[in-house]
Homo-oligomer: A and B are copies of this chain.
């Protein structure tokens, strides 16, 4: 095992301009917000983002000017409504949006995790989603070689970087996710580089005592960063709940054209440490 413990700053530098990035968690839960804030602070540009159902993590990267293209199954703020920066920049055509669907995004990531160039899925045929101009990845209608069944082959999605926030890791990159995993283990397998921020670094001995709780083994992980409250304002199961009040405030500032203020207060100023 190789030590991969590093700082937030250095880990964020592993994410390069124009790379394809996916983030862990789902909507407001275990989103890697602290790393997202650091990427905004470092002024990354031209990122391509892909995920099943992201929310504030993608929206903040968009609002921070880091993003050029998006592929998501859905990008919204749940019952609070549309993702403010996403909607504004998509309608202003400042970012390119590839309408996705959850299953092909999951299947594309799984294909990459399995080392396959593509994976077939059911459904999709008959939806206009099939005809949307390709931005990231792609679909192709195929027939199963045995049954002839009409399927949609989904091209593998191999992110340059997967950024996951988890509860615990050791300095070698063994990671323990508590509660639901979402597609985080798949993403760790699919991506070329894997950055994990955690609430707590714990001794390797803890992993050896309870190996069945390890969700990502060290050899899949390139960097580990201790980032307590690293999912805030998203939730981190067993540590803290989502701050729905903060999330609504975020929306308000963004929708009222005051997003720079939000960035100053919660992103840039926090970086001055």
Contacts and interface: CB of A to CB of B under 8 A. Distances in A.
A119 B146 CA distance: 10
A146 B122 contact: no
Nearest to A107: B114
Interface residues of A, number: 23
A213 interface: yes
Contact of A213 (B117, B118, B212): B212
Contacts of A151: 116-117
A146 to B, nearest CB: 5
A199 interface: no
A94 interface: no
A157 to B, nearest CB: 12
Interface string A71-84: 00000000000000
A138 interface: yes
Interface string A101-144: 00000000000000111111110000000000000001010101
B149 A145 contact: no
A30 to B, nearest CB: 14
Contacts of A122: 115-116
